[in-house]
Amino acid sequence: MKAFRLDELEAERAANDGAYLQFLRERNMSVGLYALDAGVQDPQQPHSQDEVYFVVSGRASITVGMETTQVARGSVVYVPAGVAHKFHHISEDLRVLVVFSPLRAEERPRGSLGDGQGRTRGRGPPPGHLPP
């Protein structure tokens, strides 16, 4: 079993000075913590994987394709692969668990992962989470 504490993941993400911390990577999926502070721009580009967001805290809007909705703690949003999407109008610091599936070929595990616990410490953002 692999178990994680959100407060520890947030501390690790902040210590690595990045918006995204991938903390679990398995054969068919990866999971990370994405952070966007109030008022910032979301630099995402479409991804080659399906994606699910679970909002842990904060408030914002998200546009997926041509649809926009408000999100807050407890919201779950599915984003199909290849569809443009961005968080915007971030009114409270946003913390989101992100599940990607499947892994891109170059992200599939080969041998040991990260620290041996499925964590990929200090990793930068997944593909598509880079500024344009």
- Is the pLDDT at 125 greater than 50? The verdict is no
**φ and ψ at residue 75, rounded to 5 degrees:** -70, 145
The answer to pTM > 0.85 is: no
**Contacts of residue 48, Cβ cutoff 8 Å, sequence gap at least 6:** 81, 82, 104, 127, 128
Domains present along the chain, CATH in parentheses: 6-107 (2.60.120.10)
CA distance 44 to 22: 15
The answer to whether residues 103 and 48 touch, using CB atoms and an 8 Å cutoff, is no
pLDDT band at 25 (very low <50, low <70, confident <90, very high): very high
- One-letter-per-residue 3-state SS of 70-119: EEECCCEEEECCCCCEEEEEEEEEEEEEEEEECCCHHHCCCCCCCCCCCC
- Is the pLDDT at 130 greater than 70? The verdict is no
- Is the pLDDT at 114 greater than 50? The verdict is no
